[in-house]
A and B are shown apart, each in its own frame.
Chain A
Amino acid sequence: DAGVTQSPTHLIKTRGQQVTLRCSPKSGHDTVSWYQQALGQGPQFIFQYYEEEERQRGNFPDRFSGHQFPNYSSELNVNALLLGDSALYLCASAQTGSGWTNEKLFFGSGTQLSVL
């Protein structure tokens, strides 16, 4: 059973460009959350998607947007990249419904984004 998969694993972009990161949730999972992890810091919640809608959002500007597809996979888009957007971007998935609890959040290994 494949876990949470993210692509690409590494990416280099130039300031001002746009980037799209992709995430496939663990089999059977239907909600996806995205996190940003700067070097030496803990992951910071960006937003969460469920039923193809953004349900929660952290303290991130509108340059960060996302999408969830009918097969539950998700994309994170960042426009007008800044140097400060350089970070590890993590995707986490979970299965909603009765009995879902916070310990059943599964993370991918992330996409390392470098903005030059």
Chain B
Amino acid sequence: DAKTTQPPSMDCAEGRAANLPCNHSTISGNEYVYWYRQIHSQGPQYIIHGLKNNETNEMASLIITEDRKSSTLILPHATLRDTAVYYCIGSPLNAGGTSYGKLTFGQGTILTVHP
């Protein structure tokens, strides 16, 4: 899996957009960018993933640069419940065969949303 680099912490005001960056300069052509988050006292939760096109779902948007060396997760209207550790992970989409369930987590970004 690709090595990813994220800032250790970020702050955001409630109601504003939270933009979380991730560098993944060694990502290979078949590796997708995944974002998971972990709210205190819970297990990680899937947010979004993408290969090279921008993606949007009900939780967030993912912007991937054209060279795929970095990406940004956007929470359009952050709430206090979005306070969590956010993990950016590079991994093949389809684990294939029996290689299911292995994700390589870094230390992530602690996002704190303030009232």
Report Cα–Cα, A32/B43, bound state, in Å.
Answer: 14
List A contacts of B85 (CB < 8 A): 42
Contact status B105-A33, CB under 8 Å = no
A43: B residues at CB distance < 8 A: 44, 103, 105
Q: What total count of A-B pairs have CB within 8 Å?
A: 80
Given the complex, which residues of A lie within 8 Å of B108, measured CB to CB? 42
Within 8 A of A (CB), among B2-58: 32, 34, 41-46, 48-49
**A contacts with B, residue count (CB < 8 A):** 32
Q: Are A90 and B43 in contact, with the CB atoms below 8 A?
A: yes
B92 closest partner in A (C-beta): A102
B-side residues, CB < 8 A to A, are 32, 34, 41-46, 48-49, 85, 87, 91-95, 98-108
A43 CA to B87 CA, complexed, in Å:
10
B93 adjacent to A102 (CB under 8 Å):
yes
Check if B41 sits within 8 Å of A101, measured CB to CB: no
Separation of A48 and B98 alpha carbons in the complex (Å): 9
Q: Cβ of B104: which chain A residues have Cβ within 8 Å of it?
A: 45
Chain A residues within an 8 Å CB radius of B98: 48, 50, 55-56
